[in-house]
Amino acid sequence: MSNGPVVVLTALNLEYQAVRQRLVDLQPHRHKHGTRFEVGTVRGTSCRVALGLASKGNNSAAVIAERAIQEFSPVAVLFVGVAGALWDTARLGDVVIATHVYAYHGGTSEDDGLKSRPRVWEAPHGLSQLASHLARLNDWADPTPGHEGVPQVRFGAIAAGEVVQNSRISTEAQWIRQHYNDALAIEMEAAGVAQAGHLSGAPVAIIRGISDRADGTKNSADDRNWQPRAAANAAAFAARLAVELVVEHEETAMSGDDKAHSADQFGRRVTNTAHNSTIGIMAGTVTGSNVHMTAVPKAPGPMDLVAELNRFRERLGRHLAEETLDEDTYREALTDLDSAIRSVGATTPESSKRTVMTLKRLRGLVAEHPALSAELAPMVAAAGDLA
């Protein structure tokens, strides 16, 4: 289980500053390839946040999101900023949380027209449930002097493309209305971040404040007035969500520790039974008739994990033979498995981290196969313990 921070990424400096204002004790963090982050805590809490600027576009957002996930092994990734509303379904200043993300530019051009071939990523169930809970509590928004009405939180699809959408009547607008009319908002980064999270096994939430209506009025004076307010609203909800994610993560970790004595490092149930036997124990101290135990659990060894990974390889082969796993996924999974096995033996902090990230990526790759994904979870935890 990750002990990392919550990663928050934005596309614009205005959005970055809106999040940054909610953090304290900021320290710079430089990735080895030059990407700069700031790591701090949400004001008044112990929630750690790694904040980064991804720049515009799905491609850039995907690269920086993947880099942040590998660098920090985060509890979750939140992409925070502004977006345009579609079909007047959301008011200016409202916050839209993506239940799923459309990469709407996929298609095939044929003699009878352009046919849609979208990709879609659903938000993780637990993360969506937590966001819905916080929206019902309705205690996240900052009071805004001089403005009536509290921003609402809306849940629905977000469309992510590769161009700035600013028309109701353009060919692009008609295409979106025809094929993606359930989308509440439109922007240019969510698909890249969602894909990076999917492949890396990191939960992702897309949080957007509505700053315009994508209807030809973008860059107007009214739009410039709403951008900072929409960014501030998205940042406020993201900060609240980040805090609750960390609290929930810590509670889950504590619950797992309570149950750890009944399972080995790979999650297999262990039962010890003695009948009419004399049992020898090693005690830390003995006071009267009370024995005070000092347990020293055995750390998982590299060969234990290698053996589990090789057994997992056999299970992948069975899924391929049963045609429940396609050939491309199988080959990608074998590549990740080989990479993980090679890095297990080094047992250094860097190699351990590399193994964890490779196994997380593998878990994302087989996410559509719950049985396989569940088998990888204890291996990820065991890999983190090796160093």
261-280 pLDDT per residue, tens: 455 444 445 544 444 444 44
* For the chain, percent of residues with pLDDT exceeding 90: 38
Give the model's pLDDT for residue 313: 87
Q: Is the pLDDT of residue 368 over 80?
A: no
Element spanning 243, H or E: helix 221-259
Give the model's pLDDT for residue 257: 54
**Beta-sheet strands, E only, within the chain:** 6-10, 23-30, 36-42, 48-53, 77-85, 95-103, 107-110, 113-116, 119-122, 153-160, 183-187, 204-212, 283-287, 290-293
Q: Which pLDDT tens digit goes with each residue over 41-56? A: 999 888 999 999 998 9
Q: Is the pLDDT of residue 256 over 80?
A: no
Report phi then psi at 212, rounded to 5: -160, 180
Give the range among 188-197, 258-267, 353-362 with minimum mean pLDDT.
258-267
Among the four given CATH numbers 3.40.640.10, 3.40.50.1580, 1.10.357.10, 3.30.429.10, the one describing domain 6-252:
3.40.50.1580
For 2, the token pair is: 């990750």
pLDDT, greater one: 307 or 2: 307
Distance CA 70, CA 50 (A): 12
Q: If you compute the radius of gyration of the chain from its CA atoms, what whole number of angstroms results?
A: 24
Q: Is the pLDDT of residue 180 over 50?
A: yes
Give the range among 251-265, 309-323, 335-349 with minimum mean pLDDT.
251-265
Domain ranges within the chain, ordered by starting residue: 6-252, 302-385
**Pair 20, 91: CB distance under 8 Å:** no
Q: Which pLDDT tens digit goes with each residue over 200-217? A: 999 999 999 999 887 666
CA angle 173, 175, 181 (to 5 degrees): 85
**Pair 209, 95: CB distance under 8 Å:** yes
Give the model's pLDDT for residue 369: 77
Give the model's pLDDT for residue 277: 46
Q: Is the pLDDT of residue 29 over 50?
A: yes
Q: Is the pLDDT of residue 285 over 50?
A: no
Q: Find the mean pLDDT for residues 288-296.
A: 47
Q: Find the mean pLDDT for residues 149-177.
A: 79
Give the model's pLDDT for residue 5: 94
Q: Smallest Cα–Cα separation from 213: which of 80, 120, 94, 79?
A: 94
**Pair 187, 84: CB distance under 8 Å:** yes
Model pTM score: 0.66
Give the model's pLDDT for residue 38: 96
Q: Is the pLDDT of residue 197 over 80?
A: yes
pLDDT, greater one: 113 or 71: 71
Q: Find the mean pLDDT for residues 116-136.
A: 91
Q: Is the pLDDT of residue 300 over 50?
A: no
